[in-house]
Structure 1
Amino acid sequence: MLRGMATVSYYAADHEAAKAWYTEFLGLEPYFQRPGYAEFRIGDYQHEFGLIDRKYAPATQDAPGGEIVYWHVDDLEATVARLLELGAKEFEPITERGPGFVTASVADPFGNVLGVMTNVHYLAVLAERS
């Protein structure tokens, strides 16, 4: 059974540029690095965000796509605006999915889809753990 997200991996042909871009966006340095790999710990549960040189990707694709991991954010509009300011392109606009569930996604400059959302269930789980 799935117990929780351990690591999400993003790939980039220009690993150093991607590392700099995500360091700027996240506002922190990777906590672990080796050639072709950098890992950030982010969020309330310190999830692992892995950034990997595309040469290690199991398959290639010509356009952003596939699964989308949505990261909860407190200010969706500001987060999307910041991502676009840093050079990401809108993949899916801000869309209300139901009461308390609003999503958006962007394609980062390296071809990965990054999902962001506000999610009342995430906040409820976080409150229970406090």
Structure 2
Amino acid sequence: MLRGLATVSFYAADVKTARAWYEELLGIAAYYAVPSAEEPAYVEFRFGDFQCELGIIDAKYATHQVGSPAGAIVYWHVDDLEETVDRLVELGATVVEGIAERGSNTGFRTASVEDPFGNLIGVMNNPHYLEVVESLKSA
């Protein structure tokens, strides 16, 4: 059965440019690149409370069409949804779905953007995520 998010893979025709964009967004450098840091076909970041992995793969290796948003949206918990959406747009992302309340007074709020490389990024306020993090601290 599914046990948890391991790696999210995005595609980009220019991995070096995508790496630089995500380094700016995340505030960290990619820790891994193959075949080399100078000419990467794949780079990877680890970040967040659970050291989630985000990989960026050269679009020439995709088994599907790349460059326009499609498919599932992975939502990343953020503490300040408005600030995060503003920052993504400032870096060149395009809003796909503006901030939306999910349910009545549940605290779940989402938004999504398309990065400059055609990948969808979901961001959200997720009270359940915060409960899990807190429960692990006290375990």
**Both proteins in one fold, TM over 0.5:** yes
> Any runs of at least 4 consecutive aligned residues in structure 1 with deviations exceeding 2 A, and if so which?
none
Taking only aligned residues, the RMSD between alpha carbons, in angstroms, comes to 0.9
- TM-score (norm. length: structure 1): 0.97
* C-alpha distance in structure 2 between counterparts of 1:48 and 1:18, whole Å: 15
Q: How many residues align?
A: 130
Matched, 1:40 2:42: no
1:101 to 102, 108, 112: 108
5 Å matches for 1:1-130? 1-34=1-34, 35-61=40-66, 63-98=68-103, 99-130=106-137
Give the stretch that moved more between structures: 109-118 or 57-66: 57-66
Structure with the larger strand share? 1
Provide the secondary structure at the position in 1 that maps to 2:60: helix
Identity across aligned pairs (percent)?
61
1:14 Cα offset (Å): 1.2
Extract unaligned runs of 5+ from structure 2.
35-39
**Aligned-partner residue type, residue 30 of structure 2:** P
- TM-score (norm. length: structure 2): 0.91
Give the stretch that moved more between structures: 56-65 or 115-124: 56-65
Greater CA radius of gyration, 1 or 2? 2
* C-alpha distance in structure 2 between counterparts of 1:57 and 1:42, whole Å: 24
Per-residue CA distance 1:82-101 (angstroms, 9 max, x = gap)? 00000000011100002110
1:63 Cα offset (Å): 2.2
* C-alpha distance in structure 1 between counterparts of 2:83 and 2:67, whole Å: 29
Extract unaligned runs of 5+ from structure 1.
none
